[in-house]
Structure 1
Amino acid sequence: MVKGIIYGSETQDPHSEQVAQLAQETYNANVLPMLIKNLPKLDFESKKDVAQIFNNLLRRQIGTRSPTVEYLGARPEMLVLLVNGYENGDIAVTCGHMLRECIRHDQLAKILLQHESFYKFFTYVELSAFDIASDAFATFKV
């Protein structure tokens, strides 16, 4: 249902008012941190859905404002949760996908670069699990 509101359907484009209302309720209820914290409990397809919805909300703009970027900028602990996701092989790639989308925004990249968790990437890129190490390196390159 959430994906239907955000993406619309084959026959209908999404309604911007509904998307705005959904996004606002997502912020008000702190749904994004709950989704990130509970990623390990989700199946593969649900993890992909979470990343897709998260990234779509992150790209959403109202004029020159990016409400989700502002929301995350006020909650740097969420970026740390995504970084720490590399420590769990079941969610590492999903967290990496969301984190790369975050750091495309200067405000969020600056927060991460100034946070001590940034230095964990030097460990993550050397992990023996190739998929996690290569994903961490892809994030590090952004």
Structure 2
Amino acid sequence: MKLYIGLSWAAIICLFLSGALHSISLFVEPAASNEIEKQLIQTMDTYQMDMGAGFHRTFAQLFFSLSACFSLLCLFASVLLWYLLKHPISKIIMMGILNIYLIFFGVLAILMWVFTFLPPILCTSLSFLFLAGARWSLGKIINV
């Protein structure tokens, strides 16, 4: 039981820190280190694509919304897991919830490994590993 609680808290902390650290990117402007990067940032900030139905968004706006969604997903997952850990819930329901977490954060970890860089890879991979450990240790607990 202690292992399950410890791994669950590790997952909560890791998910919360992932969301909090990633939300910093919402408030920091990218800085160009050369002329090509300056041109790329300017294009991302100014070029508006026609997305149909009257929507014209820049790549910077799309990037901002995806960053916000990732931060909110991690924060929501950590708060929900914390809430479920603090309130009595049956083992079978908690195992199902952890299975859902494992599916979503497993896919997320794979996407991070393929498309991003070290900090998000570490954050999502650690979150997934702690969630997998919590699910495994919960399965070992015998119902009394």
Larger Rg belongs to = 2
Higher helix share: 2
Which structure has greater strand proportion?
A: 2
Please report the TM-score for the alignment, with normalisation by the length of structure 2: 0.33
Q: Which structure has the higher relative contact order (CA within 8 Å, separation 6+)?
A: 2
